[in-house]
Amino acid sequence: MSFHALYRHGFARLAACTTRTTLADPEANATAILSAARECHARGAAVAVFPELGLSGYSIEDLLLQDVLLDAVEEAAARIVSDSAALMPLLLVGAPLRHAGRVYNCALAIHRGRLLGVVPKIHLPNYREFYERRWFASGAGTEGGTIRVGGIEAPFGPDLIFDAEDVRGLTVHAEICEDLWVPDPPSNAGALAGALVLANLSASNITVGKADTRRLLCASQSARCLGAYVYAAAGAGESTTDLAWDGQVSIFENGATLAESDRFPAGQQMVIADTDLDLLRQERARQGTFDDNRRIHARPFRRVAFRLDPPMDDIGLERRVERFPFVPADPKRLDQDCYEAYAIQVSGLVQRLGAIGHPKIVIGVSGGLDSTQALIVAARAMDLMQRPRTDIIGFTMPGFGTSEGTKSSAHRLMAALGITARELDIRPAATQMLSDLGHRFAGGEPVYDVTFENVQAGLRTDYLFRAANNENGIVLGTGDLSELALGWCTYGVGDQMSHYNVNGGVPKTLIQHLIRWVAEEGIFAAEVSDVLRDVLSTEISPELVPADASGAIQSTEAKIGPYGLQDFNLFYILRYGFRPSKIAFLAHHAWGDAARGAWPPHFPEARRAAYDLPTIRRWLEVFLSRFFGFAQFKRSALPNGPKVAAGGSLSPRGDWRAPSDGTATAWLAELRRNVPEG
């Protein structure tokens, strides 16, 4: 079994197909369906969904009641069953079938030479251009039945779910076209009964604007049901006597569009996407109201088992995986996210200041990303409250590793914003404290250990708190979500603590885009925007250790890993609780090739890195060790601050509750057992 096999990591490949219809010729349509099914098999698909009445054609009207046609449909269905024996996908094929003296509009579930079951359409449209009640009976009330199709007996009714016994979560429900367009679609009940994959066999003629409504319905159903929704519409070959057909096929997952075809194809087309069954299971487990709803509205379903036997080698991943899950690559979405994130930070600070009597703000300004973001949040808050920006008191506090570049940026930014700027050199006090402690640095030795670093970090915070006392102010925190995840902050009297922290819910990879967005939006004067752009080019560093002989400064990422990878790890641990091996698999697809996939707008070419699997494994091990085995005690004592990212927060009063004395043993064991080192 290959590490790179998608079925090993909780994914299932889905296909939505439309074939060229030959009207009232089931044999020809069966040939087209089998051709597409073989292609789906070759591409490793687990499920392939075809259009409504695909074996006969949807638009043949009264021909649907002709015995010759219905006989031919049964023969063609039996042929597909027989010829599917060597094919992996579960095929969902549309056909008109006779049963109990009526004709039903059905979905046939076929797998490896078996007719697993037949699901009848429940809601038959009989308005405007639709006239289905003329030909068909509704499947309502047929639960628990059986049907014979071409001599094959199979379960019949809307109460069927098809469950792969060897692929956890690959549980499939089928509904047909109009079933989706009603207030309570059958797929609601199917999802509550455990189906994660919801299929819609549709004909769906096209009119102006209908495609948008259709997309909205499919996406919202996938979100409401916390599932995947696979939609296949009829296309070329259907009669255009009175209607037209666009043959669009699409796949959605929890509200997101995974794949969508072009419209109005000349013939057969399909889309393939890999849905994340683990993600959907996790969402349902986390959202307890989903199960509450099941307890109220659950209906009995029959589960029909089948064995998929999926490929366990590398067949790629048909799915877009964002390098920066907190930072969308789509420019419009990123712009919206930045607007909302900045507004959340500002409004949170405005509310807190108003609630405690409008104190001044005391903030340490280093010239780095985090303090810059916190400062421009504070400045905007003062503007909205119509208070002078001089009520913000910014301190630069140079230490032993402070560079002239960052100190200069800090002063330029404070001057451009018009806040009260002060400088407090902490080196004399730090030297005194190190001497009092008997630290070797005070004796002239270049010992740059954790005591050396934390003496500086602690003094900075200590001075800020005492300055806040002196100025009737509050200390505004600057530490971000990524640092909290990794424990990269000094506990207590250090940058872990403040009176209010606007950055605590913002990951490091998003902060640079927030700063750029503020600069480009012109929220402040042009001079401020110029300084912000300069800050964006600054190396991420705590600047607690002097530069080495070559002039190289202390690098945070060299110690705890690239923030791009660590924010990736954080997102999938915090938001979905994935196994380390799955996170490594996803990271390899996202970060394995710098030329693959989209980068966020304005992301510098020089920083577009790629990481091989051993590197991903190495930094994931660091993340797991720190996140689960070390850093929680710092997060358990966090100051207040707003949740910002949809991926989650680490507040002990919000998204994340965990013991301070936990261990990383289980997570590290899973990583080491299942992710190859080379």
Binding site annotation covers 582? Answer: no
Residue 369 marked as a ligand binder = yes
Q: Is 127 annotated as a binding residue?
A: yes
Neighbours of 436 (CB within 10 A): 10
Residue among 177, 218, 225, 338 flagged as catalytic:
177
Please indicate if the annotation marks 490 as binding a ligand: yes
Other beta carbons within 10 angstroms of residue 149's beta carbon come to 22
**Which of the residues 52, 74, 253, 283 is marked catalytic?**
52
Which DSSP helix (H) or strand (E) runs through 566? helix 563-574
Cα–Cα distance measured from residue 473 to residue 394, given in angstroms and rounded to the nearest whole number: 12
Q: 256-260 and 249-253: which strand pairing? A: antiparallel
Q: 283: which residues sit within 8 A by CB, 6+ positions away?
A: 226, 254, 290, 576
Under DSSP, is residue 154 helix (H, G, I), strand (E, B) or coil?
A: strand
- What are residue 551's DSSP bridge partners? none
The reply to whether 202 sits in an annotated binding site is no
| DSSP secondary structure string for all residues of 208-243 | TTHHHHHHHHHHHHHHHTTSEEEEE---TTS--SS-
Helix (H, G, I), strand (E, B) or coil at 634: helix
Residue 370 known to bind ligand: yes
Side chain identity at residue 534, one-letter code: D
Strand partners, 305: 163
* Residue 478, marked binder: yes
What are 290's two structure tokens?
């989903």
Cα-Cα end-to-end distance for the chain: 16
Coil vs helix vs strand at 65: helix
| Rg of the Cα atoms in the chain | 30
Distance separating alpha carbons of residues 525 and 418, to the nearest angstrom = 11
Q: Rounded to whole angstroms, how far apart are CA atoms 274 and 363?
A: 47
Beta strands at 197-201 and 500-501: parallel, antiparallel or unpaired: unpaired
The three-class DSSP label of residue 194 is: coil
- In order of 244, 264, 364, the CA distances from 234 in angstroms are 10, 10, 62
Query: Is 366 annotated as a binding-site member?
Result: yes
Does 550 count as an annotated binding residue?
no
Please name the helix (run of DSSP H) or strand (run of DSSP E) that holds residue 48, with its range, or none.
strand 47-49
Of the candidates 510, 540, 523, the one whose C-alpha atom is nearest the C-alpha of residue 603 is: 510
Cβ atoms of 406 and 396 within 8 Å: the answer is no
Note whether 189 and 250 are within 8 A (CB). no
Q: Which of 17, 106, 121, 322 is catalytic?
A: 121
177 is catalytic: yes
365 marked as part of a ligand binding site:
yes
State how far the Cα of 659 lies from the Cα of 454, in Å rounded to an integer.
25
**CA–CA dist 606, 608 (Å, integer):** 6
d(CA 183, CA 180): 8
Place of tokens 């009829």: 234
Q: Is 469 annotated as a binding-site member? A: no
Does the annotation flag 489 for ligand binding?
yes
Q: Annotated binding residues for ATP, as ranges?
A: 364-371, 478
Known binding positions? 127, 204, 210, 364-371, 454, 478, 483, 488-491, 634
Q: Which residues fall in the annotated binding site for L-glutamine?
A: 127, 204, 210
Annotated binding site for deamido-NAD(+): 454, 483, 488-491, 634
Catalytic site positions:
52, 121, 177
